[in-house]
Amino acid sequence: MLTSAPLLAAPLRLLPPTTRYWVRLRHKAGMCFEPATYFTPPAQARRQRQHLPAADSTDFPVRPDFVRQIRAFTDSVTLVSRWFNAVACRATLAQAARLRRLPGVLSVEEWEGRPLLPAARPGPAERGSMSLSADDRQLARRQTTSLGSTDFRQAGLVGQGLRIAIFDVGFVGTVRHPAFAQLVAEKRIVATYDFVRNGPDVFVGGTHGTEVLSCLAGRLPDGTLLGLAPGAEFLLARTERLNREIYAEEEAWLAAAEWADRNGADIINSSLGYTDRRYFPEQMNGRTSLVARAAEMAVRKGILVVNAAGNDGEDTEWRTIGTPADADSVLTVGGLDPDTYLHIGFSSYGPSADRRLKPNVIAFGTVLAAVPGGYARIQGTSFASPLMAGFAACAWQQQRDLPVMQLFSQLQTCADLYPYFDYAHGYGLPRAAAFLRPVGPGTSGQPTVDFVPQDTVVTVLIRPEAAVIPAQVLPLYSDSAAVVGSAPKVSAVGREDIVPPVAKQPAQSQPEPEPALAALLRPGYLYWHIADRHGVLRSYEVREVTQRAVLRIPVRALRPGDTVRVCYRGITQSYSVQ
């Protein structure tokens, strides 16, 4: 009986591992470029309005012979960037060594993919409802009226003529949702592109982009607007993979920014951010990440970049803003609590790693938005960002030729706390009335507080005329004003929670009758900070005002060159330490 010899399995051949690399090229010599052919008419018009040249060297194409050489020596090329004259590719160590010897290559840097985090609150997606409560409808109105939507509408400003690009995970359900019926009917979604799958269909992957778009141009069935820019045109870019738990990479954001520039975007809304999945807090300086540098380049092209601050405010290991929110010329938007009109707990804090002010402004962090099946309340700085982007669109419609960084500056100066700022609220909540009718120099209002320096403390007193509220006058309890801290240091940066009202203590003598504390109506908050001689905050806080003697700062907590700023009822006053 014959038996067959056993067959030997062929040994598996393991392929060498590949790594992502960022290949910078030496030059673009010999390349020709026709701006009128490459850029759409809106892109050309934006450059003219912004007094920019029709093109510069960063717009010229990358030399195709350099790209061909890189393709020949690598496994795959995943991005070719005109702006940075660079190529992203995957290669083995041996291939990378050969790339470095190519004549057109300036440098080859290992560049692992960095995950992108949508700035929405974590949790399972909830299906919405077409049946809305009175509270839901009120929130829908307040998220826009808080920014001055009535003033914009009366001025005829709805973002018309502006083109807004949205970078997100996907826009599932957008074209079928009743919130966008008018937007779709008027064909104001003018271009779309999926930078994950390299195709035009962005209505896949997730609903986060749909929710964000609704905070720009969505409507309730009764016509109530959910955002401030229902008249704008939109470019929708999918820059992330699958769903909210799986994130794409920075190169998709860069590719989308170059695409948005070519297609005439005036504003980019990015409700996204990179944080501790790839970076350290000390790298949030606006210069380290590729995506921050890409955002800065977009601004150089005349595009306003609006980015969510992030949702790490309650994360003890991070807490700070992500990137590209850390970029200097990116308008970073924090989250406001609709119930208290103060920083909402999850909203990420500033400053940037190099101590610049972030966030710049703030808007509602809890909103009513369009979701699958109808509408729902959702949370995240993801939604504060498009509310602010809509505000910027209306503002730019009113002053169409305003240079982008002048617009950036005016968006800050029209906020309700300006010139006061802190690392939770930025300059506060922008107001349409303040943008449309800016207050001139010397007309900023009457002082509302007095600084009273004493031997060991500086006391802050509410002025009598600012203490008058309906049927009540704030009492003066100078002996019961809380001393800030028991050590030479005041509240730590980031601890801006409301301080409870001070407890009443028996007074030896009162200069005025004492009204019942329970009957007082709260006139507002007092914001205050201590800044060093370089303008960097050492501490800041928000206090609820229930009496005229509102604050006592120990002299030992102050250093030469410090400035104490107090904002009360929209008036900011300063006390300088010599």
Separation between Cα atoms, residue 112 and residue 409, nearest integer Å: 35
Strand 105-110, strand 331-336: pairing: unpaired
Residue 316 DSSP class? T
Instruction: Please pick, among 149, 352, 382, 539, the residue that the annotation labels catalytic.
Output: 382
Region of 445 on the Ramachandran plot (φ > 0 left; ψ -120 to 50 alpha; else beta)? left
CA–CA separation, 504 vs 524, rounded Å?
19
| Residue with token string 């083995």 | 92
Tokens of 554: 């120990």
Nearest to 380 by CA among 523, 473, 273: 273
Query: Which of 59, 151, 168, 194 is flagged as catalytic?
Result: 168
Per the CB < 8 A criterion, the answer to whether 148 and 431 are in contact is: yes
Query: String of b and e for 550-567 (b: at least 16 CB within 10 Å)?
Result: bbbbbeebbeeebbbbbb
Query: What does residue 166 show for φ and ψ, rounded to 5 degrees?
Result: -120, 125
The neighbour count for residue 453, using CB atoms within 10 Å, is 13
Peptide bond just before 359 cis, omega within 30 deg: yes
Instruction: Indicate if 401 belongs to the active site.
Output: no
Known active-site residue 382? yes
Phi, psi of 65 (to 5 degrees): -70, -35
The span from the CA of 191 to the CA of 255, in Å, is: 15
Catalytic member of 149, 151, 208, 539: 208
> Using alpha carbons only, how large is the chain's radius of gyration in Å?
27
Give the integer Cα–Cα distance in Å for 144 and 308. 17
The end-to-end CA distance of the chain, in Å, is 108
444 carries an active-site annotation: no
Q: Please, is 511 exposed, middle or buried when counting C-beta atoms within 10 Å of its C-beta (0-12, 13-18, 19+)?
A: exposed
**Beta partners for 90?**
20, 76
DSSP H/E element including 45: helix 41-49
CB-CB contact of 395 with 304 (8 Å): no
Q: Is the distance from CB of 271 to CB of 119 less than 8 angstroms?
A: yes
For residue 434, the surrounding DSSP H or E stretch is helix 432-436
> Bridge-partner residues for 458, per DSSP?
453, 553
Letter for the amino acid at 78?
A: T
Could you tell me if 561 and 532 are in contact, meaning their C-beta atoms sit under 8 angstroms apart?
yes
Can the peptide bond before residue 124 be classed as cis, meaning omega within 30 degrees of 0? Answer: no
Q: Tokens representing 412?
A: 């800050």
Positions annotated as catalytic residues are 168, 208, 382
